[in-house]
Structure 1
Amino acid sequence: MSLSSKLNITDVDLKGERVLIRVDFNVPMDKEGKITNPARIVAALPTIKYAIDNGAKSVILMSHLGRPDGSPNPKYSLKPVASKLSELLSKDVKFLPECVGDEVKSEVLKGENGQVFLLENLRFHIEEEGKGKKGDEKVKADPAAVKKFREQLTELGTVYINDAFGTAHRAHSSMVGVQLPKRAAGFLMKKELEYFAKVLEKPERPFLAILGGAKVADKIQLIENMLDQVNTLIICGGMSFTFKKTLDNVEIGTSLFDEAGSKQVKDLVEKAKKNNVKLVFPVDYVTADKFDKDAKTGSATDESGIPSDWMGLDCGPKSRELFAQTVAEAKTILWNGPAGVFEFPAFASGSNALLEACIKAAKNGSTVIVGGGDTATLVAQAGKEDELSHVSTGGGASLELLEGKTLPGVAELSEKK
């Protein structure tokens, strides 16, 4: 699946069209139904405005919110999003209390002059995800009903735009079931695909991946795929202890050790040797007497080992220098997973130092991409998103792409002619 050959919103003439856009409005709300962080709504504005400014007859927005498990639940209504969107667009947004059916269709067909509609939560229908819950029981959707639901969504538009990269790894009806002749990426999706194409299709070398996080077993596929692509690989965070103990018998105390993952360590190191990939691990640690933000802290090295009832929760000053030097040598940098438990200030220095090194590399002309999830949170907390080339909005989607998998929501987009 080539990422760079997909049809984009700018390749399509939208004049007079009913533009059906799959957005990601899965925003956090408080108990009163107030939106606590509108970032995802703001992120979709360029695509929505482009459709309006380029003469769309109407713009029909569809999204999920939370996990209502296939039946209506007022707690997960998108109604509050409609008023927020209206405020951000300075334009009336008509909220429809359903996402399919005759009433929705007749309302949408009446829309003109760039009218914006927001459909109710797609996941109120079991046919969106194909499965849901009745009480505590898991239930599957009827294939005929799924087919009908997809046809009903398709009828609403004349052009389909997908701007929900964060859901692109899910083969849900709104992602893969809208069978309009033109299916294009919106600006958010386009940016994600362009940057991941840069990394996965034609990286400028040397290419470095920084992989952190807790369990080796969860990242096996990612490490495997990266070993076929990169020149250098930094392994940090909790999973580095499994490597250190297995390879060099370093004393790791009560640090995270992944028994299942440890069985794969030697094979991964063999593959790195075979592919001429340089592996870089931490060499010293910030330790704690317990997993707690107020834990007592200490320090340890590979030689000294970590005392038997202490654990490593961050990498130490020598490792930070080693990582910064490794980052400075690379032309393309992909970062997925923090270097320590950055949620606790006492153990955030390793991740913050990596972030500083990445910002410096970006200033010096390297391409730096952060692959969603915890690392994106770290960058956002520091307010540094604009100082890196790209911070992905999709945790699960970016991970699957980096594991070498095809994303259903991307595969379904039309190819450029």
Structure 2
Amino acid sequence: MSDFHTLDDGDFAGKRVLLRVDLNVPVKDGKVTDATRIERVVPTIRELSDDGAKVILLAHFDRPKGERNPAMSLKPIAKAVEAELGRKVGFAEDCIGEPAREAVGAMADGDVLLLENTRFHKGEEKNDPDFTRALAENGDVYVNDAFSAAHRAHASTEGLAHLLPAYAGRAMQAELEALEKGLGKPAKPVVAIVGGAKVSTKIDLLTNLTHKVDALVIGGGMANTFLAARGTNVGKSLCEHDLAGTAKQIMIEAAEAGCALILPADAVVAKELKAGAATETVAIDHVPADAMILDAGPKTVKAVNQWIDRAATIVWNGPLGAFEVEPFDRATVEAARDAARRTKEGKLVSVAGGGDTVAALNHAGVAEDFTYVSTAGGAFLEWMEGKALPGVEVLKA
């Protein structure tokens, strides 16, 4: 991407590179249970190390609120990074001051060192200039490979780029290039699929998308709020009745922008959300008063897949039903498989993101087949909402 300096634009041999990575991974009993985020940053670490840089990893872990909390130390993560990287990773007991200075001073070219949790200092989240300068003392160059933290203007995600020559790492570069294809300069027609439980968390997202896409598919619990606003009886379904006005406004904006708004035409309903519950498939205006809508029905899936088959680009955030419980995963799985098939045939650019979306695509067995799946929750959502991300803006050349 011409807008950003990438690793192709720098010479890192012999340089101390402060590399911001996302190592905020799930840990149980001192063991990392999902190394996806580590896997994403390994190529950048390896490339810099092979180029003869001293690679100094900056990361946060959990929310220690500016206090040193041993339960939130990055020390156990160093071993997990070492395992994925296949080479030794040192560890320093602090990210600034004497412990960091000594550890960095002892590095040879090509060495990799992880510094302790940046959030052990209040200055990190405040983007405090003194703290940022203390971080910058240990580096000659700054590389940001943590898109998932790019929506926050913290010292290690934004501040450092003002003090040192700044570059996007390979994972950041891949993310930005994929997002550009998704909504920046997408091939048309563009279809957005937005699901999940609540409209309240995605108002900005839906409003932005109505002006950017040709069709907007709304599924999951949030579809019920739109159906109810339209006067459809949704029984005991999850529904934010107080947001009827907002839902109507979004429908009006979609109509004015020429964006087709696709809501469920039929639904799979049950009296309780549990595996093996008795279900029935009903037209959307025949939902029993004592039942809940828990998935989109086959007619709806057919309509969604017709839009996917027509699209050149799809962006996806949130499942179409309560996919964690079978059989309410069917709509999400079938639509995801259709998008994956079209992507493999080279007919579709498919960009997806958000925690429950990644889980749903993994459940459908198609995460690998999408053009790009973002592991960044908040940052991906804010990007889809059309907001500028501080950690990205500051990398612009």
Alignment TM-score > 0.5, same fold: yes
**Amino acid of the structure 1 residue aligned with 2:368:** D
Distance 1:366 1:198 in 2: 11
Displacement of 1:4: 5.6
Cα distance in 2 for partners of 1:282, 1:46 equals 42
- Partner SS for 2:324: coil
Q: Which amino acid aligns with 1:75?
A: A
Q: Do residues 38 (structure 1) and 20 (structure 2) align? A: no
Q: CA deviation at 1:87?
A: 2.8
Q: What is the CA distance between 1:414 and its match in structure 2?
A: 4.2
Question: Does residue 86 of structure 2 align to residue 90 of structure 1?
Answer: yes
Using the alignment, how far apart are the partners of 2:84 and 2:213 within structure 1?
41
Percent identity over the alignment is 40
Which residue does the alignment assign to 2:134?
152
Please give the secondary structure, in 2, of the residue aligned with 1:345. Answer: coil
| 1:102, distance to aligned residue in structure 2 (A) | 2.3
Counterpart of 2:357 in structure 1 is 375
1-structure distance, mates of 2:141, 2:120: 24
Alignment TM-score, normalising by the size of structure 1 = 0.91
Paired with 1:368 and 1:343, the residues of 2 have a C-alpha distance of 22
Contact 2:95-2:115 at 8 Å conserved across structures: yes
> Which amino acid in structure 2 is aligned with residue 357 of structure 1?
D
> How far apart are residue 294 of structure 1 and its match?
4.4
Structure 2 letter corresponding to 1:118: L
In structure 2, distance between residues paired with 1:87 and 1:373? 25
State the SS of the aligned residue for 1:323: helix
Change in Cα spacing, 1:149 to 1:192, as seen in structure 2 (3 Å) is same
Residue 182 of structure 1: aligned partner? 165
Secondary structure of residue in 1 paired with 2:217: strand
Distance 2:298 2:87 in 1: 52
Q: Say whether 1:124 aligns with 2:120.
A: yes
Q: CA deviation at 1:84?
A: 2.2
**Deviation for aligned residue 1:295:** 3.1
* Number of the residue aligned with 2:15: 17
Matched residue of 1:151: which SS?
A: helix
Q: When the two structures are aligned, how many residues end up with a matched partner? A: 395
Shift of 1:68: 1.7
Q: 2:317 aligns with which of 304, 316, 336?
A: 336
Give the match for residue 137 of structure 1.
Answer: none
* Structure 1: distance between partners of 2:220 and 2:130: 47
Q: Deviations over 1:193-236 (max 9, x none)?
A: 00111122211111111111121222111111111111111111
Determine the structure 2 residue equivalent to 1:78: 74
Q: Name the SS of the counterpart of 2:52 in structure 1.
A: coil
CA distance in 2, matches of 1:152, 1:314: 52
Pairing partner for 1:242 from 225, 246, 253:
225
Letter in 2 for 1:384: V
Secondary structure of 2:129 counterpart = helix
| CA 1:27–1:268: 2 relative to 1, 3 Å | same
One-letter identity of the residue aligned with 1:197 = E
Aligned to 1:308: 289
Compared with structure 1, are the counterparts of its residues 66 and 404 closer, same or farther at alpha carbon in structure 2 (3 Å cutoff)? same
- Deviation per residue, 1:241-288 (Å, 9 max, x gap): 1111212x2221011221232111222122112111111111111111
Please list every run of at least 4 consecutive aligned residues from structure 1 whose deviation after the TM superposition is greater than 4 angstroms. none
The Cα of 1:37 is off from its aligned counterpart by 1.7
The reply on whether 1:292 has 2:274 as its aligned counterpart is: yes
Contact 2:92/2:113 (<8 A) preserved: yes
Check the 8 A contact 1:4/1:194 in 2, yes or no. no
Q: Which residue of 2 aligns with 1:404?
A: 386
The aligned amino acid for 1:13 is D
- Secondary structure at the counterpart of residue 368 of structure 1: strand
Partners of 1:246 and 1:86 in 2: CA distance: 53
Closer, same or farther in 2 for the Cα pair 1:127/1:46, shift >3 Å?
A: same
Question: Contact (CA 8 Å) 1:373, 1:396: kept in 2 or not?
Answer: no
1: CA distance, partners of 2:379 / 2:7: 20
Amino acid at match of 1:91: R
Task: Quote the Cα distance in structure 1 between the aligned partners of 2:247 and 2:39.
Answer: 42
Structure 2 matches for 1:245-264, cutoff 5 A? 245-247=228-230, 249-264=231-246
Aligned to 1:113: 109
Which residue number corresponds to residue 346 of structure 1? 327
Q: 1:246 to 1:407 in 2, by over 3 A?
A: same
Aligned equivalents of 1:13, 1:257: Cα separation in 2: 55
Contact 2:17 2:139 in 1 (8 A): yes
The one-letter amino acid of 1:18's match is R
Q: Work out the CA distance in 2 between the residues paired with 1:250 and 1:267.
A: 17
Distance 1:272 1:299 in 2: 28
Which runs of 5 or more residues in structure 2 are unaligned? none
Q: 8 Å contact 1:314–1:350 — kept in the other structure?
A: yes
